[in-house]
Amino acid sequence: MTAFSGTYVDAIRQALFDAMEADPRVCCLGEDIGTYGGAFRATEGLLERFGADRVIDTPISEQAIAGAAIGAALMGQRPVAEFQFMDFALLASDLMVNFAAKAHWRWGATVPAVFRGPSGAGNGGGPFHSQNPEGHFLGSPGLKVVAPGTVRDAYALLRAAIDDPDPVLFFEHKHLYRRLKDEWDEAPTARLGEAALRKDGSKACVITYGAAQHVALEAVADLDVAVLDLRTLWPLDDETIAELAKRTHRVLVLTEASLTYGPGAELAARIGETCFEWLDAPVLRVGAADTPIPASPPLEAAYLPGTKAVRSALDHLLAW
């Protein structure tokens, strides 16, 4: 690819373009991704460059999209399926959880398919277009789950997901689509399962991912507190998580997903089990309220874990 300068959603589009240029097996399918260019314009221009055989508009059916992608992957293609909102990935969960995730275990078949789309709140989308449903899939062995929180990771992790032999769910936070910008002369690379230290510190650490890392970075800007971006929720970078927990002795887990039974609960449990002897305080969690997501902007802001909630939890943690 040539030099890049653009937003998070531009990086998604560039990753798709470069992957399709590099490998004729890569194709895209989903609702309105062709002529319309996608609901958020993530596939704009791909139809004109690669044609209708590789950029396929589908009916409004997540089951059909997932089924076609899985079938194409089993036949040797590398499909990238777009769900217009990841909230509706749950409609295709049977195919992804009970078929794609288990194909390797049942008969040794690989399913190199990516299921991508926008997730997350912050745009007033309400309870049906703002969820973080990644936790629904994290308990399904055989699926990989990725949640980039930077422009570079949006590009690099999508390229890695497309190259991966296993089915990958790729959660793009829509609130970041046009709020983050970056540029590079050489395309960034990344591997699934590797976390990134966004800020170092010695007094405590915040372990997070996706858009929540930016909340964490703002909250700890003046504190000697580290921020670790998981980037990939499965597989987890257990080694880096444990090293940071052992070094800082205090851990706060921050997620935008609901607090109860969410990804943060598993993270806190794993850290508590593996790092107990090095911790000076319990692992604390901050997450979204256990309610449907309000459409009203003030109520949505109250629903989401913000910098004040993170700072309050850290004050408690540091005083332990």
Q: Give the pLDDT confidence of 58-100 residue by residue, as tens digits.
A: 999 999 999 999 999 999 999 999 999 999 999 999 999 999 9
| Distance (Å, whole) CA 292 – CA 300 | 10
113 in the same domain as 180: yes
156 and 190 in contact (C-beta within 8 Å)?
yes
Report d(CA 98, CA 101) in Å as an integer.
6
**Whether residue 11 is found in the same domain as residue 106:** yes
Do 305 and 200 share a structural domain? yes
Tell me, yes or no, whether 86 lies in a domain: yes
Q: Using CA atoms, how far apart are residues 57 and 10, in angstroms rounded to an integer? A: 20
CATH number at residue 269: 3.40.50.920
Domain that holds residue 311: 196-318
State mean pLDDT over 265-290: 97
Give percent of the chain with pLDDT exceeding 70. Answer: 100
Label the pairing between strands 55-57 and 26-30.
parallel
Confidence of residue 57 (pLDDT cuts 50, 70, 90): very high
* The last residue of a domain, from among 150, 184, 218: 184
The pLDDT value recorded for residue 36 is 96
Residues 300, 153 within the same domain? no
Q: What pLDDT was estimated at residue 237?
A: 98
User: Based on the domain organization, do 125 and 8 belong to the same domain?
Assistant: yes
Q: How many domains does the chain have?
A: 2
Q: In the predicted model, is pLDDT for residue 18 greater than 80?
A: yes
Backbone phi, then psi, for 156, in 5-degree steps? -65, -40
State the DSSP code for 90: G
Query: Are residues 249 and 140 both part of a single domain?
Result: no
Q: What is the DSSP letter of 203?
A: S
Task: Write down which residue in 133, 158, 184 finishes a domain.
Answer: 184
Residue 248 located in a structural domain? yes
Asked if pLDDT for residue 2 goes beyond 90, the answer is no
Instruction: Identify whether residues 242 and 109 lie together within a single domain.
Output: no
User: What pLDDT does residue 1 have?
Assistant: 62
Read off the pLDDT of each residue in 247-270 and give the average, rounded to a whole number: 97
Q: Is residue 236 part of a domain?
A: yes
Give the CA dihedral 265, 131, 300, 204, nearest 10 degrees. Answer: 30
Half-sphere exposure for 194 (CA within 13 Å, toward CB):
10
Q: Are 167 and 201 found together in one domain?
A: no
| 297 domain-assigned | yes
190 inside domain: no
Q: Which two tokens stand for residue 81?
A: 């399926």
Residue 189 lies in a domain: no
Quick check: is 259 in a domain? yes
Given 162, 184, 206, the domain boundary residue is 184
Asked if residue 81 lies in contact with residue 116, where contact means CB atoms within 8 angstroms, the answer is yes
Active-site residue, from 129, 173, 175, 214: 129
Query: Quick check: is 316 catalytic?
Result: no
Amino acid identity for residue 240 in this structure: T
Mean pLDDT of 149-161: 98
Span 224-232, average pLDDT = 98
pTM summary value? 0.97
Residue 142 and residue 13 share a domain:
yes
Confidence (pLDDT) at 262: 94
CATH code, domain carrying 25: 3.40.50.970
Q: Which residues pair with 251 in a beta bridge?
A: 205
Same domain? For 12 and 136 the reply is yes
